[in-house]
Amino acid sequence: MATSISSPTDIGNLALDLLAANNVQDIDSPTSATEILVHRWYSVVRQKILREHPWNFATKRAVLSASATAPAFGYSSQYPLPNDFLRLNSISNANNDIIATTEYEIENGNILYNGDGGKLYLKYVYDLTNVAQMDALFVDLFAIDLALSLSYKFTASNTDITRLNGLREKAATQARAIDGQERPPQVRQYSKILAGRFSLSNQNYYYHFS
């Protein structure tokens, strides 16, 4: 969802507005002390907020192939994650069966899995950098969170920081709620064929989109 805010500098200036600070010209090629400060925090805050929720606008799909090198122990296969991976939404196999969280681990940029070595189908939040593609509610939350990170350089007032924390809580609640409403509900049921291969004592659960 496009917004009128189109660059990192725009978001930086929104954050500075919340701190009653002077706006800057360019945080991508910073020259002033304020630009350097905003640049230092910008990517850290952006990635942090993207990891906090399975945002629809920042979700991608990828088909993963097993690496030629198996894990040292514990799992039969490992699947390298995409370079822009930030947060896992779901993994499924070729039958569209969702793989339960008890059946894999994310470790050192790979998904470790005891499967047959076939492809895995991944939905994930990616490292979105294009501001024009960010949802307007996310941009609002981003600016508030960035202001909070910058606030200790601009104010010693606990009142100001408390105000920003209150704004962040409201913005986060609204952004996540509406993002969740726009995600179609998915009815999941046990895959009887796959479930029959595993004992309940091992708690190996698989789900299937109906």
Residue range 7-20, pLDDT digits in tens: 999 999 999 999 99
Is pLDDT larger for residue 9 or for residue 5? 9
pLDDT-derived band of residue 69, with 50, 70 and 90 as boundaries? very high
At residue 156, the pLDDT reads: 72
**Residue 13: partners with Cβ closer than 8 Å, 6 or more residues away:** 23, 24
Whether the pLDDT of residue 24 is over 60: the answer is yes
* Verdict on whether the full-model pTM lies above 0.85: no
Has residue 192 got a pLDDT over 90? no
Closest among 61, 54, 98, 123 to 188, alpha carbons compared: 98
| Tens digits of residue pLDDT in 46-61 | 999 999 999 999 999 9
- How far apart CA 96 and CA 77 sit, in angstroms, is 19
Cα 35 from Cα 58, distance rounded (Å): 26
Residue pair 131/42 in contact by the 8 Å Cβ criterion: no
pLDDT (0 to 100) of residue 1:
41
Concatenated DSSP letters for 37-74? HHHHHHHHHHHHHHHTS--GGGEEEEEE---SSPPSSS
Cα separation of 101 and 157, whole Å? Answer: 44
Q: For residue 185, name the pLDDT band (cuts at 50, 70, 90).
A: low
Please check the confidence at residue 148 and state whether its pLDDT lies above 80.
yes
Per-residue pLDDT band for 207 (boundaries 50, 70, 90) equals very low
User: What's the confidence (pLDDT) of residue 210?
Assistant: 33
Radius of gyration of the chain (CA): 21
